[in-house]
């Protein structure tokens, strides 16, 4: 091929940077700043989450917590409220803890060194590199899903296994330019997001097309290698729906695990809902089955036990165990998992 420039040479980054200047994204909310706090927040929200989903959460979050200090001073509850609906709530818990660590031990400053930053909770190798690049202009290697897809296709390498991942990191480091690291890094991500898409890649407008092995071999659909299908577990959980008409009885979930730290309907795991109700002085009125409550990664079936209860007795007996009443009017802004929030909102109608 006449135009097949050596893809391992500087021609790679030169093409990516030139493409980024003309065709890349330049107007995303977190691209208007060098504030490490804002860069960091965006990178955490963008983990396994698409740009259009993140934008409204990012805007609301910054309006409420404009600075690292403001976030560190906030309650975990208020952070989870703003994260409610975004998923992967360990990100919010780590975000909050990270802010407190930085304020308490690092004078509220991020390090420019990705090695130091990656030691903080919720910040791994790729996120640390992104902060170094976009906030400090440091030369560091980002390898997220977008970059992986571009590299896997251009160089015809597999992905998924640990060996493949190491090879991709090594390859990514080799390709790093000496200058214009921000444009290069953003260019690789934008290329992966807008041109080298998982489905229907726009190879005809790709600056790397002449060197791309996957394109030459017609293997775009095979690279990166699809993840092996896994069997989805089905969870069956018996929960209580207690309401006096204007309030609902909720439980604070354990600090880790599914929906960790969020409010949810109380679970009756080792005991039946009926015995729980009896112990609490409630009367079981009826049951309702809903399935599935969530989709994809878990089938989560809730069996609702609709109870009428003596409000004051319940409140006094179990408050110390992390239960609380929530006004139905306050549902929208509460730190609730999406399926629970949808369920309770539908009840109000």
Partner DNA sequence: GACACGTGGAA
Partner DNA sequence: TTTCCAAGTGT
Q: Which of 60/319 has CB closer to DNA?
A: 60
Work out whether 263 is an interface residue with DNA (CB under 7 A).
no
Two structure tokens written together for 12: 């790679």
- Dihedral of alpha carbons 19, 21, 27, 31, sign: positive
Q: How far apart are CA 108 and CA 96, in angstroms?
A: 13
Binding segment (CB under 7 A) for DNA, from list 174-182, 195-203, 308-316, 317-325: 195-203
Cβ at position 226, least distance to DNA in Å: 4
Catalytic choice (43, 81, 182, 251): 43
Work out whether 193 is an interface residue with DNA (CB under 7 A).
yes
Two structure tokens written together for 187: 């260019």
Work out whether 199 is an interface residue with DNA (CB under 7 A).
yes
What residues does 235 pair with on adjacent strands? 300
Residues 16-35 that bind DNA (CB under 7 A): 25, 28, 30-31
Cβ at position 39, least distance to DNA in Å: 9
Beta-strand pair 234-242/299-308: parallel
Q: Binders of DNA: how many residues, by CB under 7 A?
A: 62
Binding segment (CB under 7 A) for DNA, from list 2-10, 172-180, 294-302, 315-323: 294-302
Work out whether 260 is an interface residue with DNA (CB under 7 A).
yes
Q: Which helix (H) or strand (E) holds 324?
A: strand 323-327
Two structure tokens written together for 327: 């006004």
The site map against DNA for 74-113 (x = CB under 7 A) is -----------xxxxxx---x-------------------
Q: How far apart are CA 331 and CA 93, in angstroms?
A: 21
Q: Is-catalytic flag, 43?
A: yes
For 332, which DSSP code?
Answer: G
Work out whether 346 is an interface residue with DNA (CB under 7 A).
no
In the 3-class helix/strand/coil scheme, how is 65-106 assigned residue by residue? CCCHHHHHHCCHHHHHHHHCCCCCCHHHHHHHHHHHHHHHHC
Cβ count near 92 (within 10 Å):
26
Work out whether 57 is an interface residue with DNA (CB under 7 A).
no
| Contact residues for DNA, defined by CB under 7 A | 25, 28, 30-31, 42-43, 46-53, 85-90, 94, 120-128, 130, 144-146, 149, 161-163, 189-190, 192-193, 198-200, 226-227, 229-230, 233, 257-260, 294-298, 337-339
Mind telling me the catalytic residues? Answer: 43
């Amino acid at each position: 091929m006449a135009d097949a420039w050596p893809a391992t040479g500087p021609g790679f980054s030169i093409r990516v940077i030139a493409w980024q200047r003309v065709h890349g994204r330049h107007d995303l909310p977190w691209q208007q700043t060098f504030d490490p706090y804002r860069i960091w927040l965006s990178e955490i929200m963008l983990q396994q989450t698409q740009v259009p989903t993140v934008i409204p959460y990012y805007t609301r979050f910054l309006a409420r917590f404009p600075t690292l200090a403001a976030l560190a001073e906030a309650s975990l509850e208020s952070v989870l409220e703003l994260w409610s609906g975004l998923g992967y709530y360990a990100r919010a818990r780590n975000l909050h803890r990270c802010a407190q660590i930085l304020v308490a031990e690092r004078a509220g400053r991020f390090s420019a060194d990705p090695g130091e930053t990656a030691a903080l909770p919720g910040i791994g190798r790729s996120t640390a590199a992104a902060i170094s690049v976009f906030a400090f202009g440091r030369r560091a290697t980002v390898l997220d899903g977008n970059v992986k897809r571009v590299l896997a296709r251009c160089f015809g390498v597999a992905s998924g296994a640990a060996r493949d991942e190491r090879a991709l990191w090594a390859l990514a480091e080799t390709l790093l330019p000496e200058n214009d690291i921000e444009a290069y890094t953003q260019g690789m991500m934008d290329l992966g997001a807008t041109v080298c898409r998982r489905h229907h890649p726009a190879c005809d407008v790709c600056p790397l097309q002449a060197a791309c092995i996957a394109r030459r071999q017609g293997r775009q659909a095979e690279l990166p290698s699809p993840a092996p299908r896994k069997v989805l577990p089905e969870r069956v959980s018996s929960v209580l729906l207690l309401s006096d008409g204007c309030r609902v009885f909720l439980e604070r979930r354990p600090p880790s695990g599914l929906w960790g730290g969020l409010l949810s309907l109380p679970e009756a795991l080792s005991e039946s809902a009926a015995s729980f109700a009896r112990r609490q002085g409630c009367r079981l009125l009826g049951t309702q089955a809903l399935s599935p409550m969530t989709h994809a990664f878990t089938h989560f079936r809730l069996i609702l036990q609709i109870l009428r209860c003596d409000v004051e007795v319940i409140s006094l007996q179990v408050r110390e165990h992390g239960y609380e009443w929530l006004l139905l009017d306050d549902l929208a802004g509460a730190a609730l998992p999406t399926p629970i929030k949808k369920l309770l909102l539908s009840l109000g109608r």
